[in-house]
Amino acid sequence: MNTLLISLMIMIMTHEMPKLPYANNALEPVISQQTIDFHYGKHEKAYIDNLNSLIEGTEFEELPLEEIIRDSKGALFNNASQAWNHIFYFFSFSPDGGGEPEGELREAIDKQFGSFDNFKKEFVDAGVKLFGSGWVWLSRDNDGKLFITQESNAGNPMTQGLTPILTFDVWEHAYYLDYQNRRKDALEKLWDIIDWPIVEGRF
């Protein structure tokens, strides 16, 4: 078997950690380089490595990550979902981000929450009130209705048939180096780096 074919097989059977579309220090002061080095560079790498180890030789080996999340449980679900969640989270940011959403997403937010400011308050409140570790999500159903949901630990709204649009990570490792126990401050600062064109494209 030639080297190229072996390489292609390895690519098919493993999930890889994508390179961030910005430098590790580019989101400062909202998220420090130290946090990204640890959070994405080490935590996310561990989830990816564990995921690849767990799917090797199983029926999940060649499935897309989304299907693994929907169909798995236990350690496999935890690592698959955390791998996906972190990529989704970090690829929602830009050093040139901030501002407000536009287009159909903005219309849906205004219709459902009354205003963008009301939505931001409800979203941050949901993150602050989530007990322990997890994620706060903005998702939509097949009819375009928006939902703010709290998911503990590795939870992902795809398991409920929803399409994720935006998420904030409320695990302590996401903010503790920069904000210590000030979770609300950490979440409120994230609005300054949201890449709204990317987020709008998910709606």
> Could you write out the DSSP letters of every residue in 28-40?
TTTS-HHHHHHII
What does pTM read for this prediction? 0.90
Is the predicted pLDDT of residue 192 greater than 60, yes or no? yes
Of all residues in the chain, what percent are helix, strand and coil, respectively (each to 5)? 55, 10, 35
Largest CA distance in the chain: 61
Whether omega before 164 lies within 30 degrees of 0, making that bond cis, reads no
Residue 193 has what DSSP assignment? G
135-151, pLDDT tens digit by residue? 999 999 999 999 999 99
pLDDT of residue 1: 39
- Note the CATH architecture for domain 103-201: 3-Layer(bab) Sandwich (3.55)
CA distance 130 to 100: 25
